């Protein structure tokens, strides 16, 4: 109900209006639901009704002028409302926990800590939540079909009975997790797979690009997201990050198995309050003059003069920054325009579709001085971070191949790039964070040839994880 309460209304009038809105919302049914699924419980606010606009959307070019420059950058910011000081009912969950129980999970008590993490999840679930549990080694098994929990103690006993086995059919476990979530899919719920692995996929589909394509297709078709948890130093971090990126979830590197319960708790806490679902950005750009060089931070698709970035779920307090780098392929004399559309379903208003549009213009500068004055420094700070982050990614790839001298050159290129920008771009915490990441990795690279294989794996995973979190605005 969208009626606002006037400040000078009587307390009785306020009570009647609030009570009426709750009753009305409780009996409303969205006809576009899949099948005969139940709607989530209406979120209740104990202090005041939240605004009808939980997410803000803005865009800005790094420079509003063109003057013989080869590139232009368009920055898009999505900021979700923080509800930490509000008392509202959290979003219900429909999750599948997919557990690697291959033989290596017996090492360092990894499987024991996974069980503790799952027990924590079980304790946190409420009556309207759905959970399924899938295990995989050579075989894939659904040890608990997706449903609401009737007996938490009984489910914990099922989890406790899981034992380690053979090889790692990661793709099979992942697909079964998707299928379980799909079987009890609910719009307005967080529909998510939580996939854990400590080793390399060596059964089922093992090709990284093929698995990533599977995830992208399932996420696009079913609206189900997936987060990945890599434990130790033997899993494929590139694959796990790809799955999370194309599955619109989060990726975690868990160096110490002791941290498994804490990391799972962090993921569960992060998805408690859904502010936007099925969110998507579309950008129309002047394809006659520009080509898309790169979209930093998120997978994307380009069709003609339109870029599509599918974000899926957005949660309370989240900030998502997307930076698009365009190459200027043809000079222009008049003004050219960008139009960015953002749409999502608002869980606070029975999944009503919300659409927002913003526009930006790029125009020729008459001289170098005007161009120099046209920079938006806040966007240029993001340009520095993302470009340095990309250089760091190149260094990490060279080190993956054992080309440590080339990796050191790339790291130095990243350091030099940030230094070159300091005279014109003010420092920011995120620039300082990226610079620290580069410095830390540079220190590790100095002795790369002398490191053991285990130390090299840890160096790579830690470096990639820090770079990933900076790119995603993760703490």
- Give the pLDDT confidence score for residue 52 in this predicted structure: 60
> Where in the chain are the domains?
31-87+275-373, 93-271, 377-471
- Give the pLDDT confidence score for residue 107 in this predicted structure: 86
Helix (H, G, I), strand (E, B) or coil at 333: coil
pLDDT tens, residue order, the chain (475 aa): 334 433 344 443 334 333 344 333 333 333 334 433 443 333 333 233 444 678 999 999 999 999 988 899 999 999 998 876 666 778 999 999 999 998 888 888 889 999 999 999 999 999 999 999 999 998 999 999 999 998 999 999 999 999 988 888 999 999 999 999 999 999 999 999 999 998 888 888 889 999 999 999 888 888 899 999 999 998 999 999 999 999 999 999 999 888 999 999 999 989 989 999 999 999 999 999 999 999 998 999 999 999 999 999 999 999 999 999 999 998 898 999 999 999 999 988 889 999 999 999 999 999 999 999 999 999 999 999 999 999 999 999 999 999 999 999 999 999 999 999 998 999 999 999 999 999 999 999 999 999 999 999 999 999 999 999 999 987 7
And the tokens for 45?
């606010």
Tell me if domain 31-87+275-373 and domain 93-271 are identical in fold.
no
For 31-87+275-373, which CATH class?
Answer: mainly beta
> What letters, b where the CB count within 10 A reaches 16 and e where it falls short, cover 358-376?
eebebbbbeeeeebeebbb
- Give the pLDDT confidence score for residue 3 in this predicted structure: 41
Q: What is the spatial distance between Cα 431 and Cα 422, in angstroms, rounded to a whole number?
A: 10
And the tokens for 85?
């000081």
34 CB-near residues (< 8 Å, 6+ apart): 185, 187
Name the burial class of residue 464, with classes exposed (0-12), middle (13-18) and buried (19+) by CB atoms within 10 angstroms of its CB.
buried
- Give the pLDDT confidence score for residue 86 in this predicted structure: 65
Contact present, 444 and 463 (Cβ < 8 Å): yes
Q: How far is CA 68 from the centre of its chain?
A: 36
For 93-271, which CATH class?
Answer: alpha beta
Q: What is the spatial distance between Cα 54 and Cα 277, in angstroms, rounded to a whole number?
A: 12
> Where are the alpha helices (H) located in 6-150, listed in sequence order?
11-26, 110-124
| The 306-315 sheet, strands edge to edge | 65-66, 352-364, 336-346, 274-284, 306-315, 301-303
Helix (H) or strand (E) holding 377: helix 377-400
In 318-405 the beta strands, taken as DSSP E runs, fall at: 319-328, 336-346, 352-364
403: left (phi over 0), alpha (psi -120 to 50) or beta: beta
């Amino acid at each position: 109900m969208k009626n606002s309460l006037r400040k000078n209304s009587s307390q009785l009038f306020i009570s009647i209006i609030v009570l009426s809105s709750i009753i009305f919302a409780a009996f409303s049914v969205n006809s576009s639901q899949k099948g005969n699924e139940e709607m989530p419980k209406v979120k209740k606010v104990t202090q005041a009704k939240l605004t009808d606009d939980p997410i803000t959307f803005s865009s800005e070019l790094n420079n509003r002028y063109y003057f013989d420059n080869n590139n232009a950058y368009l920055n898009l910011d999505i900021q979700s409302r923080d509800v930490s000081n509000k008392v509202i009912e959290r979003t219900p969950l429909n999750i599948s926990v997919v557990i690697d129980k291959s033989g290596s999970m017996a090492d360092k008590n990894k499987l024991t800590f996974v069980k503790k993490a799952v027990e924590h999840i079980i304790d946190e679930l409420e009556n309207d939540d759905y959970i399924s549990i899938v295990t995989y080694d050579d075989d894939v098994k659904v040890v608990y079909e997706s449903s609401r929990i009737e007996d938490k103690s009984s489910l914990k006993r099922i989890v406790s009975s899981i034992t380690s086995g053979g090889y790692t059919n990661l793709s099979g476990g992942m697909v079964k997790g998707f299928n379980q979530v799909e079987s009890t899919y609910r719009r307005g719920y967080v529909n998510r797979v939580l996939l854990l692995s400590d080793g390399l996929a060596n059964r089922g589909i093992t090709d990284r690009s093929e698995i990533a394509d599977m995830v992208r297709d399932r996420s696009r078709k079913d609206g189900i997201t997936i987060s990945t948890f890599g434990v130790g130093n033997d899993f494929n971090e590139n694959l796990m990050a790809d799955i999370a990126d194309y599955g619109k979830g989060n990726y975690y590197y868990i160096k110490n198995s002791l941290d498994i319960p804490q990391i799972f708790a962090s993921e569960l806490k992060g998805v408690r309050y859904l502010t936007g679902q099925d969110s998507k950005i579309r950008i129309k750009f002047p394809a006659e003059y520009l080509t898309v060089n790169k979209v930093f931070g998120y997978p994307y698709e380009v069709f003609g003069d339109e870029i599509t970035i599918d974000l899926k779920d957005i949660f309370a307090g989240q900030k998502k920054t997307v930076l698009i780098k365009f190459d200027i392929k043809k000079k222009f004399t008049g003004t050219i325009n960008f139009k960015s559309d953002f749409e999502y379903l608002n869980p606070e208003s029975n999944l009503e579709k919300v659409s927002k549009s913003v526009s930006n213009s790029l125009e020729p500068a008459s001289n170098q001085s005007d161009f120099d004055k046209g920079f938006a420094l806040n966007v240029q700070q993001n340009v520095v971070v993302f470009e340095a982050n990309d250089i760091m990614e190149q260094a990490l790839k060279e080190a993956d191949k054992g080309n440590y001298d080339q990796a050191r050159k790339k790291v130095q290129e990243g350091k030099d790039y940030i230094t070159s920008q300091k005279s014109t771009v003010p420092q920011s915490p995120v620039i300082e964070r990226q610079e620290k990441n580069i410095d830390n990795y540079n220190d590790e690279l100095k002795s790369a040839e002398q490191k053991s294989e285990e130390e090299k794996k840890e160096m790579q995973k830690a470096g990639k994880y820090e770079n990933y979190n900076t790119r995603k605005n993760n703490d």
